[in-house]
């Protein structure tokens, strides 16, 4: 299937869609990209591409698949030689686990805070606990980084990095060069952060901190 005709529907601001873009770049896929304006979504998108109306969606030879985690697993299956998921069943499960963990224990705090349900202090406290546990999960995989599995870049890195970047976009508003203590104090975690955010596939597909800050301010009316 490596010669499949692929079209990715995405929006530059969307972290879920960025997952799909990173996976495709990492796979070396030849693919077309269609940018969807989420503020002014064309009718044909819901009718012809994704009835849920969300990005990302990946069209493979005329069949469309949606949901970012499903899409990146599909990309891995289309390009198995890139080893974006470990073959070992336990390691594979652990890579999937860290994606869920990051979403449920770390990322979830961003919108709770932006939406006013979590104070800044509680946001920092909850995030510190999440990052401290993330450091343990990284060390359980490998004593050295930079990636989740160690030297091998995987779907765990693909899935987490767009959200990690947006957390730092938010904390850039805290001023004073704010950094989480868990990251300052733990070299493995600090290397992971640096490693996934400096990966070319991430950088080439990231719209930049300002784009997320705009969403926080304009959609969530966020202010400190």
Ligand X SMILES: N[C@@H](CCC(=O)N[C@@H](CS)C(=O)NCC(=O)O)C(=O)O
- As measured in angstroms, the least distance from the Cβ of 77 to ligand X is 17
Residue with tokens 């104070």: 119
8, 20 Cβ separation under 8 angstroms: yes
Sheet containing 57-60, strands listed edge to edge, beginning at the edge strand earlier in sequence: 31-35, 6-10, 57-60, 63-66
Q: Which is nearer to ligand X, 53 or 150 (CB)?
A: 53
- As measured in angstroms, the least distance from the Cβ of 198 to ligand X is 23
Q: Which is nearer to ligand X, 41 or 112 (CB)?
A: 41
- As measured in angstroms, the least distance from the Cβ of 66 to ligand X is 6
- As measured in angstroms, the least distance from the Cβ of 15 to ligand X is 6
Q: Which is nearer to ligand X, 102 or 180 (CB)?
A: 102
Q: Which is nearer to ligand X, 183 or 196 (CB)?
A: 196
Q: Which is nearer to ligand X, 68 or 141 (CB)?
A: 68
Q: Which is nearer to ligand X, 100 or 185 (CB)?
A: 100
Q: Which residues of the shown chain bind ligand X in the complex (CB under 6 A)?
A: 11, 14, 16, 38, 41, 53-56, 67-69
112, 216 Cβ separation under 8 angstroms: no
β-sheet bridge partners, residue 60: 6, 63
Q: For residue 116, is it left (φ>0), alpha (ψ between -120 and 50) or beta?
A: left
State the SS3 of 110-143.
Answer: HHHHHCCCCCHHHHHHHHHHHHHHHHHHHHHHCC
- As measured in angstroms, the least distance from the Cβ of 145 to ligand X is 26
- As measured in angstroms, the least distance from the Cβ of 130 to ligand X is 19
Q: Rounded to an integer, what distance in angstroms lies between the CA atom of residue 163 and that of residue 159?
A: 8
Alpha helices in 142-199 (DSSP H): 155-171, 181-185, 187-198
Contact partners, residue 104, CB within 8 Å, separation at least 6: none
């Amino acid at each position: 299937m490596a010669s499949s005709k692929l079209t990715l529907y995405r929006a530059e601001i969307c972290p879920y869609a960025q997952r799909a873009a990173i996976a495709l770049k990492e796979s070396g896929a030849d693919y077309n990209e269609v940018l969807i304006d989420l503020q002014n979504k064309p009718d044909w998108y819901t009718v012809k591409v994704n009835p849920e109306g969300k990005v990302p969606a990946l069209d493979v030879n005329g069949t469309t698949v949606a949901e970012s985690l499903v899409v990146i697993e599909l990309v891995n299956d289309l390009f198995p030689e890139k080893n974006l998921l470990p073959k070992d069943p336990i390691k594979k499960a652990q890579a999937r686990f860290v994606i869920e963990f990051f979403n449920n224990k770390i990322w979830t705090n961003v919108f709770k805070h932006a939406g006013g349900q979590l104070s800044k202090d509680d946001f920092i406290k909850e995030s510190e606990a999440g990052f401290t546990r993330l450091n343990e999960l990284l060390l359980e995989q490998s004593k050295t980084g930079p990636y989740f599995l160690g030297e091998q870049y995987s779907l765990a890195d693909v899935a987490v990095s767009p959200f990690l970047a947006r957390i730092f976009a938010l904390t850039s508003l805290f001023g004073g060069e704010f950094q989480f203590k868990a990251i300052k104090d733990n070299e493995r975690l600090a290397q992971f952060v640096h490693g996934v955010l400096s990966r070319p596939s991430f950088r080439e597909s990231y719209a930049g901190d300002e784009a997320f800050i705009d969403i926080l301010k304009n959609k969530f009316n966020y202010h400190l």
